[in-house]
Structure formats: structure tokens, C-alpha cells
Amino acid sequence: MKLTRYTDYALRVLIHLAVHENELASIGRIASRYLISQNHLMKVVQDLSRAGFVETIRGRNGGLRLARPAAEINVGDLVRHTEGGFDLVECGGCVIAPACGLPRVLAEATKAFLATLDRYTIADLSTRPADLRALFALRDTDAAVSGDVLDSDGVTMSDDQHS
């Protein structure tokens, strides 16, 4: 099973916000730290906000923060929210579907996968906040030193390419 990029980005946003729990973050800063598309991240954050995972504060001093403590945000709940479905194979049109045991086995595997995710929270994914903050700070320094900027498609471009 492979999770979608959408879920990956959602997890990244929540981990970033958990690590920086005492400050507001911007979509642009999160995107540049992870070197991912700001446009894609904006859609993810809007969805996370509507679903009650993230709180958005408008205005000049606005930004993002977790809508509740990281220890109360369950990873399984987030994955269920961001993933469209968990049917690993499409059995509806298969000639052996009425007698095949594959759907039952895959359903069991999916249930076990989600049960494992249900045992963890966003706080569990960010147990080394000082190390994570240091890695984010390195990303900030790298961008400042190289003059690279992430464009809306997630492509890194140097300042002279923007002119």
C-alpha cells in the first residue's frame, strides 16, 4: 500500500506545526522547508482546516497552527480523512469474485494497517522537536545562502531565473 502525496503533505504540515507549537507558521515557509509546491500545500491546508486539524488565523500577523494538541490528533484518523479509499484491488468485474478469498485477506491487511496507525498521534511523530527544528533551520539557511526560491510548481529556481 502506498499513501498519496496528499496524505504525505498533510502529515508533513502537522509535524511541522507540532514542532513549532508556540508560533504561527505560513504555508510558504512550510513549503520552502520541505521543498514542496506551495499551491499543492495550500489545498491540503484548506482541507485540514475544514476538517478541524489545523486552525488558520487571517491577517497581517496570521498563520497556521494545530487546532488541538498534537497528542490529540490521531494518525489513523488523519489518514482515513486524506485517503479516498482503501480498496487495494477492484474485484467487482472479476469472474472469480464470488468465490475468491483475496478481498477478505486484503480487508484484513488494511484493517491491521489502520489499527497500527490508530496507535499513534502527531505528537508521537515529533518526539524529537529540537532535532526537527534544527533540521528546519538548516533548510532555511541553505535557501538563504544559495538564493534559491521554490516556485509554485515546486521547482527550485535561483534568484537570477526570476528576473
Is-contact 27 74, C-beta < 8 A? no
Q: Torsion angle of alpha carbons 67, 50, 114, 4, nearest 10°?
A: -120
Please list the alpha-helical segments (H only) found in 35-128: 38-50, 75-82, 102-118, 122-125
Is-contact 28 63, C-beta < 8 A? no
Residue bearing the bigger pLDDT, 113 or 153: 113
Residue bearing the bigger pLDDT, 159 or 20: 20
Tens of pLDDT, residues 68-81: 999 999 999 999 99
Tens of pLDDT, residues 93-135: 899 988 999 989 998 999 999 999 999 999 999 998 888 888 8
DSSP state letter for 92: T
Overall average pLDDT of the 23-29 stretch: 93
**Sign of torsion over alpha carbons 61, 66, 70, 76:** negative
CA neighbor of 43 nearest in space, from 54, 59, 34, 32: 54
